[in-house]
Amino acid sequence: MNTTAPSESATEKSYTPSAEVIANAHVDAAKYDKMYAASVNDPDAFWGEQGKRIDWIKPYTQVKDVDFNLGSVKINWFADGTLNVSANCIDRHLETRGDQTAIIFEPDDPNEAAQHISYSELHRRTCRMANILESMGVGKGDRVIIYLPMIPEAAYAMLACARIGAIHSIVFAGFSPDALAARINGSDAKVVITADEAPRGGRKTALKSNADAALLHCKDSVKCLVVKRTGGQTTWVDGRDFDYNAMALEADDYSKPAEMNAEDPLFVLYTSGSTGQPKGVVHSTGGYLVYAALTHELVFDYHDGDVYWCTADVGWVTGHSYIVYGPLANGATTLMFEGVPTYPDASRFWQVCDKHKVNQFYTAPTALRALMGQGNEWVEKCDLSSLRILGTVGEPINPEAWNWYNDIVGKGRCPIVDTWWQTETGGHMMTPLPGAHALKPGSAQKPFFGVHPVVLDPQSGEEIEGNDVEGVLAIKDSWPGQMRTVWGDHDRFEKTYFSDYKGYYFSGDGCRRDADGDYWITGRVDDVINVSGHRMGTAEVESALVAHPKVAEAAVVGYPHDIKGQGIYCYVTLMNGVESSDELTKELRTWVRTEIGPIASPDVIQWAPGLPKTRSGKIMRRILRKIAENDYGSLGDTSTLADPSVVDDLIANRAG
Ligand code: WTA
């Protein structure tokens, strides 16, 4: 029986959660309204209470101490409290759930045995890693780079750093040696933790040789701790390289958690902005953990005993907050997957869900669209009855992918939480809650507790009141998970986020608040195009294109157009087995005109067998814009793409 029933709300079709979902949920509609009002009306009282969900060594007496004014930006939460994140994620669970599985590790190769790591085992492993790091000279406040595959050692390394008060900075294993070197140097790290090789999709990346290449550009004092994953050959530099597996055999099983201030940095994570080199986003210890834990529990409606799976990589913020810190602070069972959605075939995600009886599944729209293009049979041959909640993150989800997720994966039973947030925000900012909101495909809908979104007029910077309005998205007041600064460059932090719109945190995204007061993210404002004086979200055109049954994926950018100012350039990937033709070009043009309106009519449609994506699955629009602009000289660095050769193909077949 279908338990989520579609109904028409004021503006869009919406899906009301079933009575069963509502009855089981931590938060229903009435509770959401009450808690939300309390959270924004009296943040000190609200967060003062929520802060108690984690263990403090010295309890805080202050809650919020924040200034969003350019020139004096400061963000402090629970500032006089002390705690240890590793103790919160492990030690405090030992008495009640020492034997419970903390981490399920599912390797790249489905024939390799999965591992179930209990909280006691996690404690032992983390303590040993902490002792190894200390023996290598790492102490409080020192930086450690983690460049590892999606293996349990990545979690041990994060928690070991947190345990001794070192600041970790994870570099996604898909990054090149140059990118790695920049981050080692940028954070002035003492140690790099890596592995011999990273298996992914049946292939292996030589991580240690990448690290070797990177370390040629770093200070001689930087040491390298090497985890054995495949046993593949590595070159060894005596005195610099340390053998994790050998040292772990000798290391002590206990390490005392360091007493950290709530505002001490927990980690630095490099992320790209619209200008300049990637910046080091700094997150705190106390506020970050409170926020990651609370959002994980309420947004995924996590209950004791559930098996939770987030398919992100720990190299991205989603992996930090929603594979490691949030779930483990809550004593959850969290699944770490080393592989990719399509290896050995397109049913891998669903097979893993069945194998481990996953209850909450959290992934990115791009993965869903790719899998949707492969056909329903890959999903339908799996059972998937364990699934209860589905989630998405990373980009606006088009209604077609949403519907496919809802109908084919969730069988109409599982609420979908479309979570809007950013590396900078530390945790979810806007999302429906499973038992509280009727879902609208493609909308992030409601602010999380304590989040005060505002829609600003991009020109005047004034708040736009009322509903059925559109503008840029800013946040009016702080929340505990907010980034504190840019590593080594507080000025850049202030300029990037607090200078365009005075007194607000500016998200860089555009958004719409519909007639019901629900929020729709329209994409980065740098992706907004202006066609004949009409402002348009490229996501809108993409959504229209992928609604066509023959289209698997589409990316749309603006390009200079003599008459219109900007024209609409569309890269279109067709469904498997569909042939491109001039007829189809015309058909798609007409389709988009009818879906959105004549102003959205594509000027150029280029067939794209593949789109340039980062290894985390984000489409690199910058490259697509350059190709659309016929400007190949300044494509920039394409080495971080999952498949750099797609760029050559797009250039060779450029349309128009
Ligand atoms: C986009 C990922 C629409 C947005 C956690 C944001 C989204 C950027 C959504 C941050 C969503 C993320 N709907 N857009 N549910 N989630 N975004 O730092 O443009 O990798 O600014 O953090 O992704 O990306 P980041």
Across the chain, what does the average pLDDT equal? 92
Residue closest to 329 by CA, chosen among 291, 284, 282: 291
pLDDT (average), residues 293-297: 98
Task: Note whether ipTM > 0.95 here.
Answer: yes
Structure-derived torsion over alpha carbons of residues 467, 470, 475, 479, reported in degrees to the nearest 10: 60
Both tokens assigned to 416 = 């979908």
Model pLDDT, residue 276: 46
pLDDT tens-digit profile of 239-276? Answer: 999 999 999 999 999 999 999 999 999 999 988 654 54
Model pLDDT, residue 563: 67
- The whole-angstrom separation of Cα 493 and Cα 361 is 33
Model pLDDT, residue 448: 98
Residue closest to 389 by CA, chosen among 412, 419, 361: 361
Does residue 626 register a pLDDT over 70?
Answer: yes
- In ligand 1, the atom with minimum distance to the C-alpha of 423 is 18
Task: Report, in angstroms and rounded to the nearest whole number, the Rg of the chain calculated over CA atoms.
Answer: 24
Model pLDDT, residue 2: 39
Residue 516 has, within 13 A of its CA and on its CB side, a CA count of 18
What is the whole-number distance in angstroms between the Cα of residue 634 and the centre of ligand 1? 26
- The whole-angstrom separation of Cα 612 and Cα 273 is 18
Residue closest to 420 by CA, chosen among 545, 584, 295, 234: 295
Lowest mean pLDDT among 6-15, 79-88, 265-274: 6-15
Sign, CA torsion 359/360/364/365: positive
Residues placed in the known binding site for ATP: 394-396, 418-423, 509, 524, 535
What is the whole-number distance in angstroms between the Cα of residue 313 and the centre of ligand 1? 15
Model pLDDT, residue 273: 52
Does residue 148 register a pLDDT over 80?
Answer: yes
Measured by CA distance, the residue closest to atom 13 of ligand 1 is: 396
What residues does ligand 1 touch, defined as CB less than 6 Å away? 271, 317-318, 393-396, 418-423, 444, 507-509, 521, 524
Model pLDDT, residue 1: 32
| Per-residue confidence band for 3, with pLDDT thresholds at 50, 70 and 90 | very low
What is the whole-number distance in angstroms between the Cα of residue 213 and the centre of ligand 1? 32
Measured by CA distance, the residue closest to atom 7 of ligand 1 is: 395
- In ligand 1, the atom with minimum distance to the C-alpha of 444 is 15
pLDDT tens-digit profile of 443-472? Answer: 999 999 999 999 999 999 999 999 999 999
- The whole-angstrom separation of Cα 328 and Cα 162 is 13
pLDDT (average), residues 347-363: 98
Out of 420, 431, 440, give the residue to mutate to test ligand 1, the one with the largest number of ligand atoms within 8 Å of its CB.
Answer: 420
Residues placed in the known binding site: 200-203, 318, 394-396, 418-423, 509, 524, 532, 535, 546, 548, 551, 593
Residue closest to 334 by CA, chosen among 637, 117, 517: 117
What is the whole-number distance in angstroms between the Cα of residue 546 and the centre of ligand 1? 20
Measured by CA distance, the residue closest to atom 25 of ligand 1 is: 422
What is the whole-number distance in angstroms between the Cα of residue 312 and the centre of ligand 1? 13
Residues placed in the known binding site for Mg(2+): 546, 548, 551
Residue closest to 519 by CA, chosen among 401, 606, 432, 584: 432
| Cβ atoms of 126 and 156 closer than 8 Å | yes
pLDDT tens-digit profile of 494-532? Answer: 998 999 999 999 998 889 999 999 999 987 776 667 676
- Pairing state between β 485-486 and 279-284: antiparallel
What is the whole-number distance in angstroms between the Cα of residue 395 and the centre of ligand 1? 5
Please give the share of the chain, as a percent, with pLDDT higher than 90: 79
- In ligand 1, the atom with minimum distance to the C-alpha of 507 is 21
Measured by CA distance, the residue closest to atom 23 of ligand 1 is: 394
Measured CA distances, 637 to 169, 225, 544, 558, 632 (Å): 22, 28, 30, 21, 12
Measured by CA distance, the residue closest to atom 24 of ligand 1 is: 422
- In ligand 1, the atom with minimum distance to the C-alpha of 618 is 20
Measured by CA distance, the residue closest to atom 22 of ligand 1 is: 422
What is the whole-number distance in angstroms between the Cα of residue 383 and the centre of ligand 1? 30
What is the whole-number distance in angstroms between the Cα of residue 424 and the centre of ligand 1? 10
What is the whole-number distance in angstroms between the Cα of residue 420 and the centre of ligand 1? 6
Out of 395, 472, 497, 520, give the residue to mutate to test ligand 1, the one with the largest number of ligand atoms within 8 Å of its CB.
Answer: 395
Specify the pTM.
0.84
Model pLDDT, residue 6: 56
